[in-house]
Structure 1
């Protein structure tokens, strides 16, 4: 595997940490900036929307840029907005930095996916995608808990500073190691590449990715509440449960290139969510199923990223953005549906049933 693919994974790790760490920093931000908790929590939604909008727009704008300039520009902007976020005392400015951070993160990820798969032979593209996505799973295992702990000890601003600093080695390596030329040879036609979305195979792969990722984050967003309110665990056990889910995710991503019988595995995923909904009051099944479902979810999700990019092979500069949009649409809608279900039925386990329904939908769609 080319060294530069691992450089991209390091940058994705830093950006993934930034995306997911907000859940543990909301109370501190609300108190420090004198805003309601709900307003502080909206920073997470702002990031998700920025990712959805930013992926195709940034991929299109940067299509004719040399790959080194595109990657370094997006990552450099990501560092700058985190510095601004760390020093601002204005919530509106902080909100704006989260939107901009998401947009440039989406641009970086879309370009990185295209570059990573272009650097390897077709038989190795699934492995290159898995290495890239491993940066996200590592952020769940290590980055998010570390960010939450740092915010608890030194304040939420320290977590923003830490993300900015973490990006610097990746930025230096991008300048040193990134391919200089464009990701594909010849003149790039964004309009022509966008026609790939007319393909039934592309749309179906994107829908599958959105449904599976929606199922993943519907439950992930409520794991802490399920642990304390359903299983009766103390708050100090929550990081361990999240780490268990993240560890399973990392294993799933590592095994994704060997995944066979995708429909069968998706059926197992749907069944696993249903079992978790029923058994989540018991501590041992809760932890075991967190590992299993994390592994299945991210393993299938990684495989579906590859399916989107293969289906849109005629759009080499845009196919990474198609996958990014699909994944983040799921990451936005899954927790939203889970929240509606939990409020309607007054039970956080309803979020897990939402995951089960979304996973079943992914199996049965034509």
Structure 2
């Protein structure tokens, strides 16, 4: 496939690197000529110096011969305009990175009127991953088997009482066209035999065709019905913290959000009615202890500063918080945090790249 990427920043380069692993011809467009020269010496891509908002640049590129254009610049409006121009000039599919929450509130209107096929939001993407881990506690993987025809769902058996006390031979009568692929008993995953009995404290992994698995998933992960997640502390009131606080609050959790910028706190307090907004420096242990860190079910640090996130995550773990999550900008930090016992370390660059590749290739690429 022929793919044009506008913006040679971290995301643009990351997507280009990932696409070069497949049978793709990649063109990278940017206004920074010096950066493009450096990239061309390191990567097997065609580079074009110019402003893709200018229609003449897209026409000179013969954009109508491209399968995809992906706009990844730091400017939302530029990405929307570039993607829209490319689509109207004949590019098959277009993708735009959009980060502003106000744009995301009218995302469907933007996609429809500007004729954009797919929009990615790094902050929203990482928020969804955190939310799924904390609030839903499940794994639903479409596309793992048979190109998406077979899916997997995992859940505690107590959420589907019909399975309690039953053997593997009983399962087909309870869950037609589905199979118990594995059971987690006391933290140990086993492949069950026909006589294996399902205990009320077990976790089960069920596979089957997509439609019945999705129906089962809606029953065992009904929003707000099954969760031990009651108290959550979030550090960092940026876009990710905002999205996450909003989602977890709607889910039913009591959320405390700590932000050091007073003006930002005012904005958050007027837009997040059911969230407790706290103005202060979370690296001050006294503040965390005063706000009962040790009583939290989950702690999420999304400050935008890797070192702060690392320190805060370790502090939360030392205070006995069960689920601790940190976002980091450097992949090496994510690996370090994982080794130190933090439950989840997320890199928005990798998640956004994966989102784009999922759309372009039609299947999730693990980075």
Establish whether TM, by shorter chain, passes 0.5: no
Larger radius of gyration: 2
More helix by proportion, 1 or 2?
1
More strand by proportion, 1 or 2?
2
TM range (shorter): under 0.3
